[in-house]
Amino acid sequence: MTRALAALEEHFRMVFLEEGIEDTHEHQAILRTFCHSDSHLTLDALLQQVRAQGVTTSLETARRVMSRLCEYGLAREVWRGDGTILYEHFHLDQHHDHLICTRCKQVTNFHDSRLEELKEAVATRRNFHPFRHSLAIYGLCNKCLPTTSTSRPLTEVAVGERVHLAAISGGHGFVGRLADLGLVPDSEVQIINNTGAVIVALGNTRIALGRGMAAKILVR
| Residues within the interface to another protein (CB under 8 A) | 168, 170, 172-182, 184-185, 187, 192-193, 195-197, 199, 201, 203-213, 216
Task: Decide: helix, strand or coil at residue 204.
Answer: coil
Minimum CB distance to another protein, residue 79 (Å):
35
Minimum CB distance to another protein, residue 92 (Å):
49
Name the CA dihedral angle for 65, 71, 73, 79, rounded to a multiple of 10 degrees. 90
Closest CA to 213 of 180, 159, 169, 172: 169
Minimum CB distance to another protein, residue 171 (Å):
9
Q: Nearer Cβ to another protein, position 65 or 157?
A: 157
Cα separation, 114 vs 120, whole angstroms:
10
Minimum CB distance to another protein, residue 80 (Å):
39
Neighbours of 154 (CB within 10 A): 25
Closest CA to 44 of 31, 58, 32: 58
